[in-house]
Structure 1
Amino acid sequence: MTAAPTLSGVTSSGITVTLRTPRFSDAIGWRAARMANQEFIEPFWDHSSQSWPERHTRGAWVRECVKARRRMRRGAGLHFVIMVEGQLAGQCDAWIDRFHGRTELGLWVDSRLHGQGVAAAAARLVIAHLFAEPEIERIAAPIATGNTATTLVAQRLGFVCEGVLRSYMTVGSGRRDHELWSLTREDWARSTNGR
């Protein structure tokens, strides 16, 4: 697979959400959205010795796109930008382990769209696409404790909290516990999301 498909859906509030493969030309929109949302994203994002602005250059975006394309070519990932009304409004990624039939989902959405169903719609599109592949049986989402917005999205989509991974990852300014949320193919088939 060299590119993820374009996926599109509508939130319950009528907002059209489109997911497509990241492009180099998204660099300006990506940087603007990430810089505007630093206070909402950084506390839960992978820690780096670089400052937030240093992590959000055109070069950083190009490197991210190149890595994503490599993973997609190997079938080891799906990487999308979330577009709302022609504007980059977030990202939704899945890292895929086909041998074990599992994947890990991650996303962020522009805070101006919080509470409007955009994150849930984007995740729902990716989940449906993943479960359309017969070898995928499980989707996991490690969510940093305190990340209430993402936890609510996981609950809304039918994910189950399996427990807490103590000191799981360095995010923001230090190590943080993460809750491990999961959704199985069986869960999805039983839910209204899978219909």
Structure 2
Amino acid sequence: MEETTATIGPLDWFMDTSIETERLLLRPCRKEDADALTTLMTPEISQSVAVWPTPLLKQDTQEILRNNIEAMQQDAVFATVVMCKDSGDIIGWCKLDIADDQAELGYWIGAAFQRKGYAIELSRGAIAFAFDQLGVTSVRAGAQVGNTASLALLAKLGMTRDGVEAIWAPARQRFEDCAFWHLSRDDWRRLQ
């Protein structure tokens, strides 16, 4: 397999780029996604993610989107809404934070769309994008130590557990223990 290392840019490249999987489209977030994302966020989902508070007000979502759009314009993150290709409905969120030659994956799926294989599908698509389009050499992801579903998903992706770190969760204004995992580009290619 030929190795490619893409360079990010020109500015706003992320704003014109999407990830497509069999059933999903991960397209760059927009200001007008605030209503759909606000509606999808529930207390059950919020308790497992660091940035999205509950109750989530539309102005909170607008601020999250504004911050991510600004970071995308600086090629620091690739923040997307997750959409079902068949219906065009927004069903969740996926973000790759990019630093040096590593991307950190974060995602959530709305409650009505869980247990349908969307989380693994979007994660595989985002990881492939990070390696093939962004040229990173590793992808990192974390989940709260009690979030057994997300931890099982990270293992299913072929990731290796690194350990536990206390991370700041602005949604709850406290530090929380998260288990972090990683996957190298070479390991990802061996798994394909």
TM-score, with structure 1 as normaliser: 0.81
Question: What SS does the aligned partner of 1:179 have?
Answer: strand
The CA deviation at 1:173 is: 7.8
Give the distance between the partners of 1:118 and 1:43, measured in 2 at CA. 20
Counterpart of 1:74 in structure 2 is 74
Counterpart of 2:46 in structure 1 is 42
Give the distance between the partners of 2:131 and 2:120, measured in 1 at CA. 16
Counterpart of 1:180 in structure 2 is 180
Residues 47 and 94 (structure 1), Cα distance of their counterparts in 2 relative to 1, 3 Å cut: closer
The aligned runs of 1:10-89 (5 Å cut-off) are 10=22, 16-34=23-41, 37-39=42-44, 41-46=45-50, 52-53=54-55, 55-57=56-58, 59-84=59-84, 85-89=87-91
C-alpha root-mean-square deviation of aligned residues, in Å? 2.1
Mapped contact 2:40–2:111 kept (Cα < 8 A): no
Mapped contact 1:47–1:173 kept (Cα < 8 A): no
Unaligned runs of 5+ in 1: 11-15
Counterpart of 1:117 in structure 2 is 117
Give the distance between the partners of 2:67 and 2:51, measured in 1 at CA. 18
The CA deviation at 1:123 is: 1.2
Give the distance between the partners of 1:184 and 1:104, measured in 2 at CA. 12
Mapped contact 2:34–2:65 kept (Cα < 8 A): no
Give the distance between the partners of 2:82 and 2:17, measured in 1 at CA. 13
Percent of residue pairs identical:
24
Residues 97 and 24 (structure 1), Cα distance of their counterparts in 2 relative to 1, 3 Å cut: same
Question: What SS does the aligned partner of 1:154 have?
Answer: helix
Counterpart of 1:152 in structure 2 is 152
The aligned runs of 1:121-136 (5 Å cut-off) are 121-133=121-133, 135-136=135-136
Give the distance between the partners of 1:47 and 1:91, measured in 2 at CA. 12
Deviations 1:34-78 (A, max 9, x none): 1xx322x22222278xx723x431x32232222212211211110
The CA deviation at 1:122 is: 0.9
Deviations 1:105-141 (A, max 9, x none): 1100012222211011111111111101464111111
Question: What SS does the aligned partner of 2:47 have?
Answer: helix
Mapped contact 1:95–1:103 kept (Cα < 8 A): yes
